[in-house]
Amino acid sequence: MTDKRRFNSLTADLINQRNLVHETCRQFSRSPSKGNLKRLKALFSSCGEQVYIESGFYCDYGDAITIGDRSYINANCTIIDGAAASNKEAIGAVTIGQDCLIGPNVQFLAVSHDIEPQARRANKFNYVGDITLADNVWLGGGVIVLAGVSIGQNSVVGAGSVVTKSIPENSFYAGNPAQFIRTV
């Protein structure tokens, strides 16, 4: 993975940024009022019209998240996104298209770490991969989407699935790891 696709999340600036974002998420979870929802949406790179987010939403930075019009995010969604680089190019971006349905307890994990223990101890880098949901995607409850995955338009992922590879459009996938079930 190139240097452009990794970052050190333990810098003072990024720790402070995460703390501020986490506090905004906590305020929204305690009181999902219109005012707190507006503050939450302001964290994102872009947030469309008629987007509804249930309480329990959590993200790390927010500035790498884009949500399309009329998307619905159910309770306890977690987005572990990357930070925007100094040139404001998002790394570890999470894009949710228009008219998407995100079930409860869904996790978007755009950030990962070295597999080898020595490398994890030595460099402390986070490795990132963008996650993209095209328009009209439905993720069932408890789905986990890993870094580098794209899910095509009109596709459905069954509850409890772990998506480790990209999914083509008009497909139904389910399982751990998620596997093709049928065309929709």
Q: What is the distance between the alpha carbons of residues 103 and 155, in angstroms, rounded to a whole number?
A: 14
SS3 131: strand
> Would you say the pTM of this structure is higher than 0.85?
yes
The tally of CA atoms less than 13 A away on the side-chain side of residue 113 is 13
Task: Tell me, yes or no, if 22 is annotated catalytic.
Answer: no
Look up the domain containing 14 and give its range.
Answer: 3-183
> Using one digit for the tens of pLDDT, what is the confidence trace for 122-153?
887 888 999 999 999 999 999 999 999 999 99
Who contacts 88 (Cβ-Cβ below 8 Å, separation ≥6)? 63
From 3-7, 101-105, 166-170, the region with the lowest mean pLDDT: 3-7
Catalytic residue among 5, 18, 39, 113: 113
Mean pLDDT for the stretch of residues 96-107: 99
Q: Residues, the chain, total? A: 184
Total of domains in the chain: 1
SS3 12: helix
What is the average pLDDT value for the chain, to the nearest integer?
93
pLDDT for residue 2 is more than 50: no
Q: What is the distance between the alpha carbons of residues 180 and 167, in angstroms, rounded to a whole number?
A: 8
> Using one digit for the tens of pLDDT, what is the confidence trace for 58-98?
999 999 999 999 999 999 999 999 876 554 565 789 999 99
The CATH number assigned to the domain holding 37 equals: 2.160.10.10
